[in-house]
Amino acid sequence: MKVLVPVKRVIDYNVKAKVKSDGSGVDLANVKMSMNPFDEIAVEEAIRLKEKGAAEEVIVVSVGVKQAAETIRTALAMGADRGILVVAADDVHQDIEPLAVAKILKAVIDQEQPGLVITGKQAIDNDMNATGQMLAALLGWGQATFASKLDIDGDAAKVTREVDGGLQTISVKMPAIVTADLRLNEPRYASLPNIMKAKKKPLDEKTAADFGVDVSPRLEIVSVKEPEGRSAGIKVGSVDELVSKLKEAGVV
Amino acid sequence: MAVLLLGEVTNGELNGDATGKAVAALKSLGDVTVLCAGASAKAAAGDAAKIDGVAKVLVAEDARYGHRLAEPTAALMVALAGDYDHIAAPATTDAKNVMPRVAALLDVMVIPDVSAVIDADTFERPVYAGNAIQTVKSKDARKVLTVRTTSFDAAGEGGGAPVEDATLADDPGLSSWIADEVAESDRPELTSAGRVVSGGRGIGSKENFEIVEKLADKLGAAVGASRAAVDSGYAPNDWQVGQTGKVVAPELYVAVGISGAIQHLAGMKDSKVIVAINKDEEAPIFQIADYGLVGDLFTLVPELTEKL
Ligand SMILES: Cc1cc2nc3c(=O)[nH]c(=O)nc-3n(C[C@H](O)[C@H](O)[C@H](O)COP(=O)(O)OP(=O)(O)OC[C@H]3O[C@@H](n4cnc5c(N)ncnc54)[C@H](O)[C@@H]3O)c2cc1C
Ligand SMILES: Nc1ncnc2c1ncn2[C@@H]1O[C@H](COP(=O)(O)O)[C@@H](O)[C@H]1O
């Protein structure tokens, strides 16, 4: 079985996003970019399936600007076998919407025929939490989102999901889409020798047009503003002072 | 203009708070029909009919909708979609599972976590862990969206909207339910609680979390946690507050032993009054706290619990 993992290049999770002064978006020029943290978890899970003998090949796919090749190389250095870069934008500020990404991924999947696709639960830039579910819909596959545990069980995947009420375990027929939550695993770091080896692994380059997918946005971004700020209050010197302040504020 | 809203139904019960806030958010867009789906859904439908602003309730009571699986619920919503311009749900994990699937089946984008409704096509939503607010205008003929309930007021009690049976859709039969692991608690529900006390890595162990729970119980508060506390096994996953956990906006939020990473702030910075207790006076949480108390949580929190 092949496992396919879509990976997105996003602002590094340690960087606080700054809104551009013209209100057109978030400033991404000269900002540290990394693989979306949930996608590292998805890549790790796919590699573990291969190490356990449940998968033969791990393919990573990224849709976006040319620089997303670096994100693919990171996944290859972790242990993925080959990468596919689909260039769909030339400005780093141009985000491809989940629906268009899902359409491109569907076209790739039609060619590659993986038995399982593991996406991240959510991209930490646009906070959509949508691509995996949309892809499952387009393929007519089952979905197991927000996974914190994944076991392959014959032709089905048994998945424990993190939900509002606690945990839910379901079985989904394969091929299926699983989306990775934070506690699915702890991703490995790529070792230096593996980083060197990754440079020689195959990386195909395609364009959105190769798949005939229109990536023009359905949601026009009218403006982007900063949230209402919140300023630091005061430091209190004791529990007694805290209690009296809370009483004054009417919250206890 | 008409709105189809997926009511939040869990084990036959309506989450009136989340569903009601979503109704309040959307009723300016047109008549709101609430869909209640579940293995048992009639009682939930009865409750939904009482929410102020609801024009009609549809019930889909059948075993196939029993465990909130995405595929059958999405198929049902797509079958009903023809009559509506807006298809929505409160932004719960169930809705985040189902609504993007609905949107893709209708070939439209989903608009997640709407925090303000500007007009029928235009919405605000937080991005980048809440560090930016986007205004987006949808070009799609039909809008599929989820509502960030903490941004809206609760709906009042209204009259009795008519309740009708929905025509069921075929179950694609792609997934099946195995088990739920749900912790029962007498405490208020985290996302709608008026007060929340959260603990972080500073608590140090699962046993020590009792310190946080005792303060919460004294305040009649819900208990939350940072990701680090959940990852370390001090607290269950459904307590996580943040960008990728639950979003809360209570009157009072007390952060104990939490440093204040942007991902945590994303889930609680709209709280009315924020208290932080941390031994590191440089902790970023103090930059947004109304009242900061610097010191050891193991002495300060029991003292606070005692004196309240
Ligand atoms: C993709 C992604 C998503 C994430 N999503 C979330 C999310 O939804 N929610 C979330 O919370 N985090 C999230 N995080 C994690 C986040 O970045 C931080 O790592 C996390 O919030 C830190 O938790 P913490 O504050 O409890 O731990 P730490 O940062 O380790 O802070 C512990 C604090 O406790 C204090 N302390 C220690 N001992 C004591 C004592 N005895 N008395 C008083 N104070 C003490 C310390 O001074 C310190 O400030 C996410 C991260 C990523 C990458
Ligand atoms: N441009 C992209 N290229 C590759 N994968 C993507 C892209 N956008 C989203 N994904 C995948 O879909 C997941 C969810 O993203 P989102 O729906 O945007 O929150 C991510 O964690 C990735 O696995």
Q: How far is the CA of A221 from the centre of ligand 2 (A)?
A: 19
Give the model's pLDDT for residue B183: 83
A121 touches chain B (CB under 8 A): yes
Torsion of CA A99, A102, B263, B213, to 10 degrees: 100
| Model confidence, pTM | 0.98
Please tell me the distance from the alpha carbon of residue A161 to that of residue B54, in angstroms, as a whole number.
32
**pLDDT per residue as tens digits for the range A162-177:** 999 999 999 999 999 9
**pLDDT per residue as tens digits for the range B271-283:** 999 999 999 999 9
Chain B interface test: which of A41, A173, A242 (most B C-beta within 10 Å): A242
Give the model's pLDDT for residue A229: 86
Q: Ligand 1 pocket, B129 CB below 6 A?
A: no
Q: Do A17 and B246 touch (CB under 8 A)?
A: no
Question: Phi-psi bin for B105: left (phi > 0), alpha (psi -120 to 50), beta?
Answer: alpha
**pLDDT per residue as tens digits for the range B97-145:** 999 999 999 999 999 999 999 999 999 999 999 999 999 999 999 999 9
Q: Do B304 and A140 touch (CB under 8 A)?
A: no
CB A198 within 8 A of CB A73: yes
Q: Do B176 and A170 touch (CB under 8 A)?
A: yes
Q: What is the mean pLDDT of chain A?
A: 97
Question: How many other CB atoms sit within 10 Å of the CB of residue A111?
Answer: 8
Out of A35, A86, A101, give the residue to mutate to test ligand 2, the one with the largest number of ligand atoms within 8 Å of its CB.
A101
Nearest CA to B296 among B275, B280, B272?
B280
Q: Ligand 2 pocket, A145 CB below 6 A?
A: no
Q: Ligand 1 pocket, B242 CB below 6 A?
A: yes
**pLDDT per residue as tens digits for the range B283-306:** 999 999 999 999 999 999 999 999
DSSP A140-177: T-EEEEEEEEEEEETTEEEEEEEETTEEEEEEEESSEE
The end-to-end CA distance of chain A, in Å, is 58
What residues pair up with A224 in beta bridges, in sequence order?
A: B134
Please tell me the distance from the alpha carbon of residue A120 to that of residue A5, in angstroms, as a whole number.
8
Structure tokens at B150: 């903490």
Which three-class secondary structure state does DSSP give residue B163?
Answer: strand
Please tell me the distance from the alpha carbon of residue B20 to that of residue B44, in angstroms, as a whole number.
12
CB B51 within 8 A of CB B158: yes
Percent of chain A with pLDDT over 90: 98
**pLDDT per residue as tens digits for the range A221-251:** 999 999 998 888 999 999 999 999 999 999 9
ipTM for the complex? 0.98
Assess whether the previous peptide bond of A175 is cis (omega < 30° from 0). Answer: yes
Q: In whole angstroms, what separates CA A32 from the centre of its chain?
A: 17
Out of A3, A8, A182, A218, give the residue to mutate to test ligand 2, the one with the largest number of ligand atoms within 8 Å of its CB.
A8
pLDDT at A85 over 90: yes
B250 touches chain A (CB under 8 A): no
